[in-house]
Every structure is written in C-alpha cells, then in structure tokens.
Structure 1
Amino acid sequence: MKVLLADDHDLVRDALKAYLESEKDIVVTTVPNLSSACEAARKTLFDVVLLDYSMPGMNGLEGLDKAIEAGDGRPVAIMSGTASKAVAQEALAAGAAGFLPKTMGAKSLVNAVRFIVAGETYVPVDFMNAAEIERAHPIASELSGRELEVLERLCRGLANKEIARELFLQEVTIKLHVKTLCRKLNARNRTQAALIAKDAGLF
C-alpha cells in the first residue's frame, strides 16, 4: 500500500510515517507542502493521500480539490490537530475520503488508512458526535465555520499574526473576524471572547 503524507511539521510528519510504516505492507512518501504533494501525486498513483489542513498552500479546503485532481481521483483525506468540527464536515462535503485528527493513536491511524483505501469514508465516531454537539450549541450556531476556527485559536492565546499564518489569511481579515466575534459574543475584547467560549465549553 502506497501512502503520500503531506505535513509541514518535521516531527509530526516523521511520527505519522513511523506509525504507518510499522505495518509491513505500507510504504510512506512524505512531502512538506501542497505543491510537492500534487507533484508527487501526478507522478505516482498512491492508494491514499493524507493532507495536513494547515500546511502551506492549502488555503483552507482549496488544496483538497487540487490534490484530488492531481491524484486522478484517488482518495484524499484531511488531517488536523486544530481544525474545528465544522471544518471536518466541510471537508467531507467537499469530497475528502476522511478526516483524521492528529490525536489518533498509531493503531487507529493505520486502521483509518486501511478503511479509506478500501473505498470507505472515515471519520472517528466520537468526533462526529462531538460535531453534532457543537452545531447544537447556542453559541456555535451563531458562528460560521471560519469564525469558530478563529475563536478556537483565540482560546489558545494566539496573536492575529499567528492565526493568520495558521489559516493562510491576511492579518486584516483576522482582525475583522475578531471584531465580529466580539460583537456576536457581546465581548469587550478578544480575551473576554475567549473566556466566554471556554466557559461555554466550546473548546
């Protein structure tokens, strides 16, 4: 089984590669960004392509379409350690063969990859249940998927510049999202917005 793994963090990439190659029948090719992933996918027919949601070139889910096209329709799954449940659902709706949280254990990751290669769509059951809870939350229901992504990063204490880098957006766009979040959450500032989200159990 040939797997293409694209992630811009060396340690994460190496760890995931080691997890997968602990299985004798899995061979993993690694690349650090979307352009390299697309180039590799055009040259080799991989059984599955795993894309980090936040790596350079992805531009949200635009990179998913490019990777699917480059791989001639072969399964492409999104991986993330930070993306919101809303993003996971959007990825599946956009044609992703699966959504793999980076918090998955080694065995679960291997099983997920095998499931996808078998032609199924994979998302952890507990992850989807949490997604339903999030959608049902009165605060979450008022926010867009992108606003939830920004809010989650505010809760992690990231500055606008850092959030912009993770989401591949302009810093001015993040400032607008933060302003909108403060208005929707009736918060005086970004710190209070994060506190409201945490107190509500959103993140």
Structure 2
Amino acid sequence: MNKLQENREGSPRDEQLSKVRVLIADDHALVVEAVGRALEASGNFEYCTVSSMGEAVKALIDGPAYDIALVDVRMPGVTGLDSFKRIIERAPNTMFLLFSGEVDPRFVKEAMKVGVRGLIPKSMRLKSLASAIHLVLSGETYLPSELKLATGERIALQSDSELSEIEMKILRLAAQGYMNKEIGEQLILTEVAVKMHMRSICKKLNAKNRTHAAMMARDLGFA
C-alpha cells in the first residue's frame, strides 16, 4: 500500500480534499524516501511513488487524480522528450515537473514547450520543496535561478491565477526586506495598494501571511 492510500484511509474526507496529491516517479529509493518525508512534514501533501515511466503512466490513468507529478528524467522507461509528451497528453489535469540531479538546459527548455512546468533539482533544499510546488500550483513555472539564465525563461505570466508583473515586483522587494511603505515609494504605489497586492500574492501562493510569502520567495531564489 502506498502513502497516498494510507493517508486516504486514515483521514477524514474534508481533510483530504485540502491536500495536494503528488506522484513521485523516481527509481532511487533513498531520494524518494527523503522527498516523501519532506512533503509529509509540510502537513498538506499526500503522495504515491513509482519507479518507472510505465508505472507512472499506469498510476496517472488508473489511480486517483494527482495535482503534481515529479518525474525523474533518467528512470527506466524514459526515452527523451517523447516520453514527457505522451504522459502529459494522457494526464492533462496533472502538472508535471522534471526531477533531476543534472539535466541539459536545452532539454528543459524543450520540455517546457510541451507542457512541463519546470525543474525541481535533486539538490534543492528539502524545506524549499513545498514552496516550489505551491508556486507551480498557483500557475507559475519553477526553474532554479541558474537555469532561468541558461534557458532564457522567466516566470510565466499567462493567466489570472498567476502572479502579475507588479505582484512579482512587490514579492521580490518584500523578500529583500522592504516594508510596504518603502515598496510603494519605489513602485509609485500607495501603501494601501501594496497591501492589497500582498493579499492577492498570499492567496495565490497559499502563503499564511506577508512574511510567509517573502520567505517562500527567498527559498525559491526570487530575492
């Protein structure tokens, strides 16, 4: 029985509705265990693990709906970009993230063109993993800062659920330690306007408050 099944059987239905369902597709047991523990520690995730692309496809088609899938780019059954094209087509309601210790920036760029939402490096601090996933769930893409430069990508701004350009500017300044009044002075906004934008930012990132949102931004390298 996987962790997702265990959690679903042992918790009230209303609690489960608020949890983020994650599929971890990786054939390295120690990595999977560490990621699973980190997600559990955050309190609002449940997860299932598989060790090949074939198992991942089966889980996504036959199992419960998953919000996020972390997919190792070098596990058994992965045959390059075509593998990701096929799995995205079969599970259009799941957001896919590459999961790798090392990957060619050109591959990441091409994968994002077919619908992958970014890359979670295996070197990422585990305490930052939940923040990265919540950012993707808010409608953004996630790339480590060094890959953003290598691929020429920037934070996606394509829908009402994503952070707007002004919200990204405010979030970066907040992460750098500026107060609302100071942010307003820099961006030529009233303090009230900055507070309104911060409320919107917190809602989109599922942040508890302004401080939490700024912390998430720092963890994700936006500051």
TM-score (normalised: structure 1): 0.61
Q: Which amino acid aligns with 1:114?
A: H
Deviation at 1:117, TM superposition (A): 1.6
CA offset digits 1:88-121 (Å, max 9, x no partner): 1121122101111111111222111111122221
Deviation at 1:130, TM superposition (A): 4.2
Q: Which amino acid aligns with 1:34?
A: M
Query: Paired residue for 1:70, among 90, 104, 107?
Result: 90
Tell me if 1:112 matches 2:132. Answer: yes
What is the aligned length?
132
Tell me if 1:9 matches 2:42. Answer: no
Q: Which amino acid aligns with 2:111?
A: A
Distance 1:131 1:102 in 2: 19
Distance 1:107 1:67 in 2: 28
Distance 1:109 1:24 in 2: 13
Alignment check: 8 A CA contact 2:67 2:93 kept: no
Q: Which residue of 2 aligns with 1:126?
A: 146
Q: Which residue of 1 aligns with 2:53?
A: 34
Distance 2:96 2:122 in 1: 16
Deviation at 1:79, TM superposition (A): 0.9
SS of alignment partner, residue 116 of structure 2: coil
Q: Which amino acid aligns with 2:149?
A: N
Structure 1 runs of 4+ with >4 Å offset: none
Distance 2:45 2:93 in 1: 20
Q: Which amino acid aligns with 1:33?
A: S
Distance 2:35 2:49 in 1: 10
Distance 2:111 2:89 in 1: 15
CA offset digits 1:14-47 (Å, max 9, x no partner): 1111122211110111110111111111122101
Q: Which amino acid aligns with 2:145?
A: V
Give unpaired runs (5+ residues) of structure 1: 133-203
Q: Which residue of 2 aligns with 1:48?
A: 68
CA offset digits 1:62-105 (Å, max 9, x no partner): 22122212323321111111212222112112210111111111
Q: Which residue of 2 aligns with 1:148?
A: none
